[in-house]
Structure 1
Amino acid sequence: MARIAVVDDSPGTRAFILAALAKGGHEARELEPTCLFEVFKALHEDPPDLLITDLVMPDCPGHTLIRLCREDAHLRDVRILLLTAHGDAALGLFLQQMGGTHYLAKPVSPTMLAECVDQVLAPGTEPDPGWSLACRGTIAVVDDSHLSRAFHAAVLRKAGFRPVPIEPGGLLETVVAIEAEQPDLLVVDYLMTEFNGDALIRAIRAREALQGVPVLVVTAHRADEIQTLLVPLGGVEVLFKPVRPDDLVEAVRSGLLQG
C-alpha cells in the first residue's frame, strides 16, 4: 500500500483529503504546515510515495516545498500532486521543471481525487503539468497569432481544459495536426494568413474522425458576415473579439455540452 503525506494549511481540507483517500482505499498522514522546515524534516525522515500539497500556505509555500523536495536526495523521486485553486501558465512551467509533479484543480470531488491519486501512483504515469488530471476536455486552438494562441491556451488551461495550440500552416497540414490530437472542441480564428476559418471548418467536416467536433470561431470580423458564412456549416458558435477570459471559458463549456 502506498504511503501518502498530505500538507495543507486548512484543517478542513486536510480532513476532506484524508476521508477521500480512505474511501478510495488509501492511508495517509497529515502534516500541518506551521513551519516549512519542520514539514520538510518530517518528509525527509520518512519519505512518502506520494506528497499531496497545497500551493498557497503562509508558513510553508508550496513552490518552495516542492523545490526543496526535488533538491533532496531522499525526496527527489517522490511523486507530488499539487492540489490548488491557483493555476496558470507560469505554474505549469514550474511544475514541468520540477519533474514528477502533477496538478489537480480545486474544487474536486472525493471520487475524482481518489481516482487521480491512483493515476499518479500507477507505474509509468507521466505528468502533464500544463493541465488538470481532472481534465474537462482537449481543446485545439488554431490561430495565426502567437499571442492569441498563448492567451487562449492560458485561459483554458487555468479553467481545467487541456489546450493544444496549433499554428496554422497549409490547410491540409493543419487538418492533419488537428486530427492527430482528437480534440473535443476546436477554437479557431476566422481571418488567417493561409486560409479562412470557414475553409478549415469545411475541411474538418470532410474528415470522418472530426465531423462531430464542435467549433468555436473567435474573431473580430463583422458579425453579420460571419453569421452568414458559418451558420450553414452546423455545430459552429461565434465569439467576437475582444474576448474576456470568462466569456471564452463559458463558450467552450457550452460548446462541449451541445457537442
Structure 2
Amino acid sequence: MRACSVRRDVPWWLVGLLLLPILGVPAVAYLVSESLPGIATLSLLAIAVQGFVRFARERSTEGGFSAGLALALAFCFSPITVPFALALGASTVFLARERFRDEPSAVPATVGVVVFPVVFVIAAWTFLQWRFSGAAFATLVDSPGFLAFPGGVWASLGAATVTVGLGLLHAPLYLLMAVSMGIREPLPLIGYLLPIAGSVVAVWTGLLFTQVSTTVLFTLLALIAVPRRPRRGLVFALAVVAVAQLALGWLWPPTSPGFAEWAGALTRV
C-alpha cells in the first residue's frame, strides 16, 4: 500500500523522466555490464542512506534497522562500504545524543541498531579470512592501489576530492534534492550529504570507487530522496534537472578506468 501511495502522489511522467538518468545513460550501462557487484553495492548504500534519513527525519527505528542491514549486505559485495558505515555510524552518535538528551543510556542501543549488523559482518569476514588465508585483511591488502596514495597523501586527497566533485557535477538531481531537503528538513540533510565524505575516503584510500560510481550513487540517492508528495515547484524542477542530467550523461559522461575503452568498443561494433 505504501509503494502504491508513492506512485499515485508522484506523477507518472515524472517517474519516467527521473528514471532516464539511470536507465538511459552509457555510464550506468557500463557499470552494470562490467561490475554487477558494483551496482548492487551502490544500490544497497542508497537504501542505507534512505533508512538513515528516515531514522533522522521520522525517528524511525525501522529506518535504522534498514540502514544497518543494507550496510551489512553492501559489505558482502564490496569493502567500499566501510567508509560509508563509519560516516553513518558517527552521525548516528550525534543524532542519538540529540534525540535522547534525557536518556543517555539509550544512545548506545540506538547506535547499535545502525552499526551492529555491518560490524558483525566485517568481523566475521575478517575472522574467516584470517582463518583460511592467514591474513585478516587479505582482500584489502591484495587490492591494487589500496593505501598507495600516488603523489603523496595530500595530493591523493586532493585528487579524490576532485573525482567526487566531478561526480557531483554529473548528478545535478542530487544537488537539487540537497537544496530541497535543506530547506524542508535540515537535520536529515546530514545523512543525505554523508556519502560525499564516504566517497572521498573511498577514492582516497584506493578502493575501487570511480567517478562513474559516485555519479550513479548520487543519482540513486536523489531518486530515493524524492518526497512522496512533491510540491508543484519541485515537480517542475525535478523534470527540468532530470532532462538536463540525461543530456549531460551523453554529452559529458563521467570518466573512469575502462569506460572510454568500453564506449569506444561499442561505437566500433
Q: Do they fold alike, i.e. is TM over 0.5?
A: no
The structure richer in strand per residue is 1
User: TM-score normalised to the size of structure 1?
Assistant: 0.24
The structure richer in helix per residue is 2
User: Higher RCO, 1 or 2 (CA under 8 Å, sep at least 6)?
Assistant: 2
Structure showing greater radius of gyration is: 1
User: TM-score normalised to the size of structure 2?
Assistant: 0.23
